[in-house]
Structure 1
């Protein structure tokens, strides 16, 4: 099996992203002459640590807009889906925001991914482009989205943690470990995890890496928690699981929704450690109409398997479209922002999005598991 640090795989993902996910719009999707172009932009972090998330998320978003345009678009016009790729640096994000300032025809930014880019955009767009709606970002810390032009729809990391820990507390678990893939994750999320654990009467032990995550895993003691919450990226999780494999005591790893389970299967996770991942969208084999529509469109337009992250990208685009349909008259930034600010409930093909007064989206969380023999369950 390839290593979690396989540079060839990373290069392949970047190539695929460049070929299939560039910001151009196909000729059949261009508005007719004389029609006012309606543009929605999507900023995607394609850096090494985020590409596993962003690639799948973008596939789902592109599937949605291509399917929408094939059915007549919006107000009879095709929607231009503009993808702006960033590399995770402050300069790259700065350039992306500046680009949006020069695009008055862009009525909304939607589906920002991954989590770090989405978090940074909350503040940047709130300060510099307060009239531009920032819709359905892949934002794990929803509680921090205080800017009035950001409109989350997915459950927060806090809700994911609470869901995972509640399921464990029912089983009599009284202590969990929290493993952070980097010093940045440790600084950003430790307080969140500890607060949730305290609210559920669980003790929590934090582990921060100063180097190789495999070494960190191998340093666990016999009395270390058997259940470990992991906060970090896909390659870091695989590296950690390979170290856990060397432990005599069996551990259970619970990861958050910003890891790619399909990539984990391909990259060589531990063969003996069950791994559970929370997800904030329905199962990809669900019979919900929105999921069936996603699978059908994905199968028609892309040679890609269904994944939770791809479904999330699809749902972010479909939610954006459904709210834009409620705008009366010509669509522009001002009335688009007003439409999203109403935060009306939307039934997205059986998946109900009913934001509350704190601008949060849904509290929907479920779980999938990679069993010890490598099968994806759920």
Structure 2
């Protein structure tokens, strides 16, 4: 099935290279429903706000941009099917703002990006295995390993040297656990305990009961929203007192909503971009202005900022590739040659593995449920 899709897409691509576009299509496959639908909707809102802002100024070389977003429901097979549709039926020139480790991994396995010589700019995953070899994916967020290194540095500085981990039992969680073990070893700190959860059950209680008996002073959580909520609630109920830290994979507002400010208070969360309300930074101010005009139904968030930045870089590649005369191959080349660029008080700098940012800062949920940064 996948081979047939690739073959058909390759034929379509060969026919479309170099021709004029009715408009310039930017394609996106992301979850718009299901457990992480809010994250996907945020990415989409940020991407759409930027595209509409560009169109309001005349587009690129007089050509309007069009964002086509398809819901993959966070399912890898859907991501591949959607990407095929975006390339063959929608004639997308570039792809942006995908979401998920398994979804992106399946897309890479399908070879659709290679066959079509198309760039994917920005995918919401920090998995190291997706960065180990060159591909047509251009990463604009730090890896989970980068986040973990930053968390461990902070833990060491706070004297919280006895660390445990709560993690998903799949690829995402095991990769994060390995990165934590490596960072702790580098800093001569012990991993005193570990507990996982089944990502089909999302039940954090067994792990919470186990880690509540641990001597850990800090626990790093490598988990999605529901098992995080389950774990924190059960861990505190079991008398656990360790400082809790999380990767950037949870939305703090959802965490506060599910747990309440009292239980959420004090949880540290790594972020891979500056605070989304810091309008002193030009690109964030630009996002706020664009969202007020074009996507007012969505509140600014880290996810809208990520979608906005991803799309701004993708559109810059289209400009550099010649705008109206660009094709997928020339846009891909523009991304490969992008290097260092200031996108408005925030710099991205792509290395040979297409890693454009390693920015990480730690935030913390305050007593009122707001984010301290």
Which TM-score tier does this pair reach, normalised by the shorter chain? 0.7 to 0.9
Q: Please tell me whether the aligned partners of residues 76 and 103 of structure 2 are also in contact (alpha carbons under 8 angstroms).
A: no
Q: Please tell me whether the aligned partners of residues 43 and 85 of structure 1 are also in contact (alpha carbons under 8 angstroms).
A: yes
Aligned residue pairs total: 345
Matches within 5 A, 1:22-171: 36-46=22-32, 48-103=34-89, 105-125=91-111, 129-142=115-128, 144-145=130-131, 146-171=133-158
Residue range with higher mean Cα deviation, 60-69 or 175-184 = 175-184
Is residue 318 of structure 1 aligned with residue 318 of structure 2? Answer: no
Structure 2 Cα separation of the partners of residues 108 and 87 of structure 1: 21
Is residue 176 of structure 1 aligned with residue 163 of structure 2? Answer: yes
CA positional deviation for 1:159 = 0.4
Q: Scaled by the length of structure 2, what TM-score is found?
A: 0.85
In structure 2, the CA distance between the partners of 1:344 and 1:159, relative to structure 1 (3 Å rule), is: same
1:291 pairs with 284, 293, 309, which one?
284
SS in 2 for 1:219: helix
Q: Please tell me whether the aligned partners of residues 194 and 211 of structure 2 are also in contact (alpha carbons under 8 angstroms).
A: no
1:216 pairs with 182, 201, 207, which one?
207
Is residue 196 of structure 1 aligned with residue 204 of structure 2? Answer: no
CA positional deviation for 1:173 = 2.1
Is residue 358 of structure 1 aligned with residue 350 of structure 2? Answer: no
1:8-64 CA-to-partner distances (Å, cap 9, x unmatched) read xxxxxxxxxxxxxxxxxxxxxxxxxx9632111011034533223212222211111
Structure 2 Cα separation of the partners of residues 128 and 355 of structure 1: 19
SS in 1 for 2:276: coil
Structure 2 Cα separation of the partners of residues 157 and 345 of structure 1: 22
Residue range with higher mean Cα deviation, 275-284 or 98-107 = 98-107
Q: Name the counterpart of 1:281.
A: 273
1:255-274 CA-to-partner distances (Å, cap 9, x unmatched) read 11121111112222472451
Is residue 251 of structure 1 aligned with residue 242 of structure 2? Answer: yes
Q: What CA RMSD, in Å, does the superposition of the two structures yield over aligned residues?
A: 2.3
Alignment gaps of 5+ in structure 1? 1-33
Structure 2 Cα separation of the partners of residues 339 and 185 of structure 1: 31
CA positional deviation for 1:142 = 4.5
Structure 2 Cα separation of the partners of residues 147 and 126 of structure 1: 15
Q: Please tell me whether the aligned partners of residues 174 and 202 of structure 1 are also in contact (alpha carbons under 8 angstroms).
A: yes
- Which structure has the highest helix share of the two? 2
1:130-174 CA-to-partner distances (Å, cap 9, x unmatched) read 501111222212453324311112111110111111011111222
Structure 2 Cα separation of the partners of residues 339 and 128 of structure 1: 16
Q: Scaled by the length of structure 1, what TM-score is found?
A: 0.84
CA positional deviation for 1:73 = 1.4
SS in 2 for 1:274: coil
SS in 1 for 2:120: strand
Q: Please tell me whether the aligned partners of residues 31 and 71 of structure 2 are also in contact (alpha carbons under 8 angstroms).
A: yes
Alignment gaps of 5+ in structure 2? 1-19
CA positional deviation for 1:200 = 2.4
2:365 pairs with 340, 364, 370, which one?
370
